[in-house]
Structure 1
Amino acid sequence: MGSSDQVVESRLEQTAAADHEPTSPPPFERERWNRPKSNPFRLLASFFSFFLSGMNDAVYGALLPYIQSYYGLNYTNVSFIFLAPFGGYTVAAFTNAMIHAHFGQRGVAIVAPALHIADYVITCLHPPFPVIVVAAFLGGLGNGLLDAAWSAWIGQMEKANIVQGVLHSMYSVGATICPLIATSMVTQLNMGWYEFFYLMVGASVFEAVTLSLTFWKKTGIVYQQQTHGNSDTPTHEKTGNRRALMNKITWLCSSFFFFYLCIEVTMSGWVTSFMLNVRRASPYEAGLSSTLFWAGQTVGRAFLGPVTERYGERLCVSIYLALSIALELVFWLVPHFLASAIAVAFLGLFLGPMFPSATIMAAKLLPRHLHVSSLGFSIAIGGTGGAIGPFVVGPIAYARGVWVLQPIVLTLLGILAVLWLVFPRIKNEESDNTSTR
């Protein structure tokens, strides 16, 4: 590939700074993990960012019984901690395109870590519970911006399934180790639940430094030149949002991501309580169950990504969904802790690659100029499912018992399978893949 591997980014910056601006977008050159040369560093920073986001989403499920006890809350009241990110993800859905248009990826790299820092500083001070809910809103906004931005960026790369799989596996790594560390600090070291967030503050500061440094040159001008050529930024921002909302793929993807994240976060958020109260596990074993779920996701995203790349998203995700439904039935109907723990781990394994695979499918179905607007909206709306799902389980569990987790998750898996079958087929996929190599 020669010098073309190294000049993609500089060409955009030079074009943006030139007196004579182009009247049409420059020819699209698909990025790789190592092209341009700064991409490896950006990917490493993005991977750590997703690692922290995974910790953020998993920690409340692991600490839920202790937060509930500390504040004297019932299932309904404590579940507001899951609902709070709904507002954050909703705001992210409508501001992601604006931030990209005006400030580029640099804007996301600065704003999102700052929101994480604010969330964790507030939480580690263990203020009254309503303030904890507000902090969770800030964390949800940060996660929504990061998830949409980095998923849309990587979704356009060559071998996107593999790179996207690694990105989302880092999310799962964070979600895997978080319950183990948090539960150990509380049960083994007799520390307060809020003391875990001291670690989160340090990690979010590191995130802010690495993302800001690596994405500093990815300004709003660079983004506009890459997607629209010579364009008026506010005009294209509004047009992109409007066109994204009018595209049926945007709403189909939003629905899929909504129910997927509803399943993922509901399972991880309530499995500890389910194991404690229904399977009669010890506190440590219950916390370990959440770890097994996220460990399965880590393995699935890291190792099933190449499988999906080879055989295609449509076939592979259909198989993953069928296996997930079967495992959920085992989890529900076999009343033994060991069987439940094994089912949880394998459920995570096959659920894991679905989100990155659906992101790639969406990127293939959408025009390039709508990737950030449409994927950003879809992923952010999907994040609201991760907030609403666990929240809805709260009052139902309070009225009927936490065993209701199982039929709820099974129903959601059925809805997810129907949505996947509705996705249109990709035309000329083979020739398109060949032309980008």
Structure 2
Amino acid sequence: MATLFLLIIYLAFISLGLPDSLLGAAWPVMQVDYDAPFEMAGWLFMIIAAGTIVSSLVSGTILRRFGTGKVTLVSCLMTAGALLGIPFSSSLVWLALCAVPLGLGAGAVDSGLNHYVAAHYKAHHMSWLHCFWGVGATLGPIIMAQFISEQNTWKHGYLTVACIQFALVVILIFTLPLWERVAKTNKRVAQLEPVENEGYSDGNMTESTKPMQIKGVKLALISFLLYCGVEATIGLWGSSFFVDAKQISASDAAKWVSFYYAGITVGRFLTGFITFSVSNRVLIRAGQLTALFGATLLVLPLPPNFSLAGLPIVGLGLAPIYPCMLHETPVRFGRKQAQSIMGFQMAVAYTGSTLMPPLLGLLASYSTIEIFPFYIVVSAAAMLLFSERLNVFLKRAHIEQTTTSDVNQGGA
């Protein structure tokens, strides 16, 4: 029953990924239909991400009161209704209004399901959970590209995704009683398992210690902000860059954006197996270096096909970073504060998704979309820098703690 139920959770994460990549894939065509300024996509994306931040910040209280199953059901219903409303929007104002429930629903699902899987399933399921988000994010541009190329309309793409969302709502209605039953079963099993090793800083903290008082947390938060900023910026502006700067057709550009998300999807599927033998820290570093290499291909004056290949390479590099950083939280900062720090990390990650893509849109409106690859390279390099600074700090702190412990034992 637990395995079958886990598949339902994976389906819910597919539905979470589907809308995330639609706006960027459809915007080159939507912009013409609405006669909208180029940077308007950035503002719409900001509204969606702002709703996601708000719902994720209050999700803890809502989840405790209503339970993960009910919150997931209502949130999916909200996103389905918003997706249904977008193709019927007659103006940019209505698009902005539809973006509000789309963001609110996504944030609650993301926070609720991440917490549920972390609490009731093994660690490698975190990578596979985010892999299924990638499945949805990959299918979104594929569906949109199909309708743009065949019928020259983006509206049917949104309607198709809305129908998929409503189908998931029906599944969630029938499986609602399973959520609490599975949670109780997994809780009993977890009580029989040994407790994992505490993080190095647990001994230096008390229950009253605030997350932002813990050394190294700010470096981790910046890494999360930059990661989600890079991921979201490519998803939103990748199509526009190749259409406007490389003269690629809108349908072909949307397909390559889907390959970018496919790189994330495949990478996270493989990461779930690799985590059995490779540490999170090594996977994070390897992913950041791979993403930086792919972003460099976008900058170099290469033929369009080589530049396009940079997108899936960046996606493959980004794949292990987010789930591994989430899973590394208790190891970095101790289990006593892991849950609180996790909330801060997700809120800051959504902030990166909210601010960095619109910032590029604003800069491009005053210059050119050709700054897109440079923006990605600088952001990816900064993410690697802050992540490595955190690793150095943690290694030094661990050595100091070990030395202090040995001295105390010797004195005793």
- Counterpart of 1:207? 168
Q: For residue 331 of structure 1, what is the aligned residue in structure 2?
A: 298
1:89–1:140 Cα contact (<8 Å) kept: yes
Partner of 2:133: 171
Look up the match of 1:91: 54
**2:279 corresponds to:** 312
What is the distance in 2 between the residues matched to 1:250 and 1:42? 34
Q: How much identity, in percent, do the aligned residues show?
A: 20
- The alpha carbon displacement at 1:76 in A equals 2.2
Q: Which residue of 1 aligns with 2:21?
A: 58
Matched, 1:119 2:66: no
Letter in 2 for 1:194: K
Correspondences of 1:268-347 after superposition (within 5 Å): 268-347=235-314
Question: Do the aligned residues in 1 keep the contact of 2:145 with 2:252 (CA within 8 Å)?
Answer: no
Q: 1:118 to 1:245 in 2, by over 3 A?
A: farther
CA–CA distance in 1 between the matches of 2:103 and 2:273?
Answer: 30
1:105 and 2:68 are equivalent in the alignment: yes
CA contact under 8 A between 1:265 and 1:390: conserved in structure 2?
Answer: yes
CA distance, structure 2, for counterparts of residue 127 and residue 377 of structure 1: 37
Cα distance change of structure 1 residues 279 and 392 upon mapping to structure 2, 3 Å threshold: same
Rounded Cα–Cα distance in structure 2 between residues aligned with 1:131 and 1:270? 22
Q: Residues 68 and 116 of structure 2 are in contact (CA less than 8 Å); yes or no, is this contact kept in structure 1?
A: no
Does the Cα contact within 8 Å between 1:268 and 1:290 map onto a contact in 2? yes
Give how far 1:243 is off. Answer: 5.1
The TM-score normalised by the length of structure 1 is: 0.78
Taking the TM superposition and a 5 Å limit, the aligned residue runs for 1:129-144 are 129-144=92-107
Aligned to 1:182: 144
* Per-residue deviation, 1:389: 1.8
Q: Which structure 2 residue ranges, 5 or more long, are not aligned?
A: 192-206, 399-412
1:45 equivalent in structure 2: 8
Corresponding letter in the other structure for 1:201? A
TM-score of the aligned structures, taking structure 2 as reference length: 0.82
Partner of 1:24: none
Maintained 8 Å contact 1:62/1:179: yes
- Find the aligned partners of 2:334 and 2:75 in 1 and give their Cα distance: 26
Q: CA deviation at 1:50?
A: 1.4
1:301-333 CA-to-partner distances (Å, cap 9, x unmatched) read: 111332233110111211221222122112211
Deviation at 1:245, TM superposition (A): 6.2
Q: Which amino acid aligns with 1:118?
A: G
Q: In structure 2, what is the Cα distance between the partners aligned to 1:241 and 1:122?
A: 46
Instruction: Confirm whether residue 396 of structure 1 aligns to residue 357 of structure 2.
Output: no
Shift of 1:337: 0.9
The structural deviation recorded for 1:366 is: 5.6
Q: In the alignment, residue 113 of structure 1 is paired with which amino acid? A: C
- Are 1:145 and 2:112 counterparts? no
RMSD across aligned C-alpha pairs, in angstroms?
Answer: 3.1
SS of equivalent residue, structure 2 residue 277: helix
Conserved 8 A contact 2:9-2:113: yes
Contact 1:159 1:309 in 2 (8 A): no
Residue 71 (structure 1) aligns with:
34
Letter in 1 for 2:360: V
Q: Deviations over 1:255-274 (max 9, x none)?
A: 33222111011011111111
* Distance apart, 1:353 and its partner CA: 1.5
**Distance (Å, rounded) in 1 between the aligned partners of 2:289 and 2:322:** 15
Q: Which residue of 2 aligns with 1:351?
A: 318
Could you tell me how far apart the structure 1 residues matched to 2:24 and 2:319 are? 18
Q: In structure 1, what residue type is equivalent to 2:156?
A: E
Distance in 1, matches of 2:115 and 2:323, equals 10
| Contact in 2 for aligned 1:169/1:299 (Cα 8 Å) | yes
Amino acid at match of 2:63: H
Number of residue pairs aligned between Structure 1 and Structure 2:
377
User: Do the aligned residues in 2 keep the contact of 1:324 with 1:350 (CA within 8 Å)?
Assistant: yes
- Residues in 1 aligned to 2:73 and 2:16: alpha-carbon distance in whole angstroms: 15
Change over 3 Å in CA distance of 1:281–1:375 after alignment to 2? same
* Letter in structure 2 aligned against 1:323: T
**Pick aligned residue for 2:154 from 183, 190, 193:** 193
In the alignment, the residues of structure 2 paired with residue 44 and residue 325 of structure 1 have an alpha-carbon distance, to the nearest angstrom, of: 33
Structure 1 gaps of 5+ residues are 1-37, 230-239, 428-437
Separation of aligned partners in 2, 1:88 and 1:187: 32
Q: What does residue 401 of structure 2 align with?
A: none
Q: What CA distance in whole angstroms lies between the structure 2 residues aligned with 1:126 and 1:333?
A: 39
